Amino acid sequence: MDGSGALRVFLAVVCGVALIGFLRGTTVTDDDLDDTTTQGADVGAAAVDGVSPARSYRELRDSPRGEGSGWAADLDALAALGPDVTDAVSLEGVSKSADLAARASRRAYDGAPPRIPHAVRQDAAPECLTCHEDGLRFRGLLATPMSHTSYTSCTQCHVVDEAPMPGGADLPPDPRAVENTFVGLASPTAGPRAWAVAPPQIPHRTWMREECDSCHGVNGRDALRSTHPARANCEQCHAASATIDQRPGVAR
């Protein structure tokens, strides 16, 4: 075998070993899945440089949260105090403009992720699900339900409102800072109707808002609540807008 032939054989062996190593390193084993589902009990078990890997909502829901503390029974008791889907809904004495203004106050613009108005632990996503998976009303406070259920890390998009930076009060102002003059779209107030008593069209995008109950269910803001929350399939009557959803040419 000449020199070029030996070199080709050597390169083939190197590539084969590299491919086997790559496939072995990226293969998810049963042991890996067992480690992932038990991270709720020991979050640091699979941490890399002190950062725990993100888990799916399914895994977070199965994670232990305060076992033995009685929190589950207390949470059920609080949820029982709230309205039920079969309760009559009255819109008397509520203000849609006030509720829309309160909703907009947590967002940079309509459609932006709302800011978190309270302190959170960045490594404790199951705590977000405790109040926001189904929503909760408590002593005049409202934890709205999640409008989307397919994302893993809440704080990837939702930031703490005016979270102080360490030493921020003692730092000089950043000379690069400029005034933000961006003005986003305002929240829609109502959808158009084909005729007087027709169901209104959905006046906003449905992407990331797949769960209508987040705003319009029993744990939504008072003036935005549906008068018939027991009807589960909203889009059976309320049509989405192809224009707003940026789907031109799609008849709805």
CB 200 within 8 A of CB 244: no
What are the C-alpha distances in Å from 194 to residues 199, 212, 239?
A: 8, 21, 11
CB 55 within 8 A of CB 63: yes
Q: Position 110: which residue type?
A: D
What pTM was estimated for this model as a whole?
A: 0.61
* Phi-psi domain of 249 (left: phi exceeds 0; alpha: psi -120 through 50; beta: other): left
The pLDDT value given to residue 41? 40
Helix (H) or strand (E) holding 136: strand 136-138
Token pair, residue 37, equals: 């589902």
Taking 70 as the pLDDT cut, the residues of the chain under it are 1-3, 25-52, 54-58, 60-71, 122-126, 152, 162-171, 248-252
pLDDT in tens, 150-204: 776 788 888 888 655 555 566 677 777 788 788 887 888 899 999 988 999 999 9
DSSP-derived 3-state class of residue 20: helix
CB 192 within 8 A of CB 238: no
Token pair, residue 124, equals: 């404790």
What are the C-alpha distances in Å from 6 to residues 2, 12, 18, 20, 118?
A: 6, 10, 18, 21, 66
